[in-house]
Amino acid sequence: MLNIDLIKESGLAIVQPEGALSESDFDSVASVIDPYLEEHGELRGLIIYTKDFPGWDSFGAMLKHFKFVKDHQQKISHVALVTDSAIGNLAEKIAGHFISAKVKHFPYNQLVDAKSWILDAATD
């Protein structure tokens, strides 16, 4: 399951995985984010908030995740990976080569700092 909290006033979405990610998880997130993007054109930021990366429940889910990133990456300004998983550091280092959003890793206990990074960047 992938929980999503879209804070429309600030253009910020927070997703929290619970268990291995499925194909339908990405359909659910798109059903929340896409209407906002249609109306506003861009999302200021996306926070992925999880203690540990749960992985995918299938190869199809992994492909669906990559397609979601491909389809949405130009409409999201900043992505914060708030996790203690080693994948956070790796993703921060390689994501810049594949997506247009600025990506930054934060330890799991720094959710407030991640929100500030995204919201402060919008005022720069």
Burial class (CB in 10 A: 0-12, 13-18, 19+), 102: middle
pTM of the model: 0.88
Cβ neighbours of 48 (radius 10 Å): 22
Position 97 confidence tier, pLDDT thresholds 50, 70, 90: low
Question: pLDDT of 18-62, one tens digit each?
Answer: 999 999 999 999 999 999 999 999 999 999 999 998 889 999 999
What is the per-residue pLDDT for 69? 85
Taking the C-alpha atoms of residue 60 and residue 13, their distance in angstroms, rounded to an integer, is 24
Q: Is 3.30.750 the CATH number for 2-118?
A: yes
What is the per-residue pLDDT for 54? 86
